[in-house]
Structure 1
Amino acid sequence: MTDRKTITLADVAALADVSQQTVSRVVTGNGQVAAHTRARVNAAIAHLNYVPNRLAIGLARQRTYSVGFATTDLSLHAPSQLTAGIEQAAREAGYSLLVSIVAANGLSATTHTLRGLRERQVDGVLLNVSLDTADVLEVQRRFPGLPCVFMDVPIGTPVPAALLDQAHGARLAAEHLLELGHTRVAILDGPRHAVVESARHHAWRDALATHDLTPVAHLEGDWSPASGYAATLRLLAGGVPFTAILVANDQMAVGVLRALWERGLNVPADVSVVGYDDTPESALLIPPLTTVRQDFPTLGARAFAHLLNLLGTEDPHSLQVLTVPELVIRASTAPPSVERQSVQAALETLRAALAAHGG
């Protein structure tokens, strides 16, 4: 059996007709290299099937060239899409990604996960776990030497963060319904512990308040379609008149649409539904779902770039990176029908009269 020659940095440099230092800059991602030269080096690397010795590079630079991503349930849309965006950005920068699932909410589970990533000698961590300001600061206190970018904390928390402007997205959704003429709007929230959900909820209420309105009902789900279905059945059983519902994510909105269909209600003629996230399936639902688009792969890439800056020369307490969602209007929303508004107003008057007489 013939031994194969081990391809070296010098072989790549010779084929690309550049110096070994230039090849090193391309491989490590450190230093400026002209785009056409980088392309030539990468072509030589691919042709020779050169595999850089990351361990040697890491030892020389006191880095492992790996980062951790601590996140919640990957079966949910947001964590899975964030993982895709982060992994691609990390790979392009020459880093490997270690994904670790946080088993439960709260500081204790987060600490356990971060300790495990720290034991794997990651250079830094991206943390997609819902934490309030106090818990965020405690995480920094417990892991003072671990560069960390937070992805689910209140805007304004004095830590490095890459966030979506949840309040802005929620306002867009509520204002859309208000512009259509809806005045009886129900809210279906996600879990109460979620920081992002708190921001959306308050923005929904604030938008309604500008029109002297309050939600006619407030329910809570767990992000799953089943919880959206169950919450909508409870809402309908309660007899509270409503012409629209704001839903905290598209997966719960799937359950909402199912429950309304089973009860013979037409969307949007009887009830308008607005989701949040813009999952790939949202445009294929019946009817296609009006929703707030969050570009999670881009957010993941921006979060990784922010962490990469922290691993370089940037101040570890640098300002937050904020990404703005956008409203996608589809067929699940329309102005409320005059007939349905009249019927619901009559029902509301009857309910108030019964309540006043103890009925």
Structure 2
Amino acid sequence: MLNARTLREWITASLGPQAVAKHMVAISTNLTLVEKFGIDPNNAFAFWDWVGGRYSVCSAVGVLPLSLQYGFSVVEKFLKGASSIDQHFYSAPFAKNLPVLLGLLSVWNVSFLGFPARAILPYSQALEKFAPHIQQVSMESNGKGVSINGVPLPYETGEIDFGEPGTNGQHSFYQLIHQGRVIPCDFIGVVKSQLPVYLEGEMVSNHDELMSNFFAQPDALAYGKTAGQLLKESVPRPLIPHKTFSGNRPSFNLLLPSLNAYNIGQLLAIYEHRIAVEGFVWGINSFDQWGVELGKSLATQVRKQLHASRKKGEPVEGFNFSTTTMLTRYLQESADVPKED
């Protein structure tokens, strides 16, 4: 809301207060506050008040900005793709239900095998923000320590999600995945490249080169490499312990036909329903987020202190020693920061 008020001030300063109603729209469930802010309620896009922010991509919260960026004809295909997985999740038997199977695998890996993390590894640069998005959807939903009835859980829930596109990750954290901690991996590949390139005389196209890694990495995780195999390859004995791969490390491959809007809608819906399945099995509420609220309430105290110290010169009080020290230093060193025009 501070950002919204900042934009309102910018528009008003240039075009006058009457311009707010014509140049700003709102996505809100509270039309009274929309009008009070200065936006015409006819320019407000409603959405369901029971939809959490991380699940709101398919509501007006996501569809409006996506439509402005790509056009609604594209976004409509995205919504139809998501809807197709909704119907699959609702109607397919469990043995063939993709979100159910993936959710059960995650529960097995986390609660039974004790693997705390999951790597999301799309072999497409266009999906570079997919892993960070799933971080929020998953960790904000299933990061719980009590059941839906408020009883402390006797097992771990939730996964530590992280990831990077394709070969970026291979040169970043795959070393840990192959020979360090066991981290289940989601490999996401695409059959058709968005920008196909083939250089004359090369063995394979650029996309085939990328996909060679996509197919090889899960095999390396699953089967590893034994000391016996290394001996047959005449690897020096001192290097054998360093080049041995234990294998038996879980992963799965998801292969998309292409990266069109419909398939992206399907991909997102698969993960959203998968996360819901995990929550159902764990017996937790995947749709609240009380863990976020404590930080917000403490931030309110800090905000009041900053105001009191800057405007009235009041000392920092009511915080622990560490925070008091840092806040005091912050106020001292930021006092002379020149204000922007």
Please report the TM-score for the alignment, with normalisation by the length of structure 1: 0.27
User: RCO (CA 8 Å, sep 6+): is it higher in 1 or 2?
Assistant: 2
**Structure number having the greater strand percentage:** 1
**Structure number having the greater helix percentage:** 2
Please report the TM-score for the alignment, with normalisation by the length of structure 2: 0.28
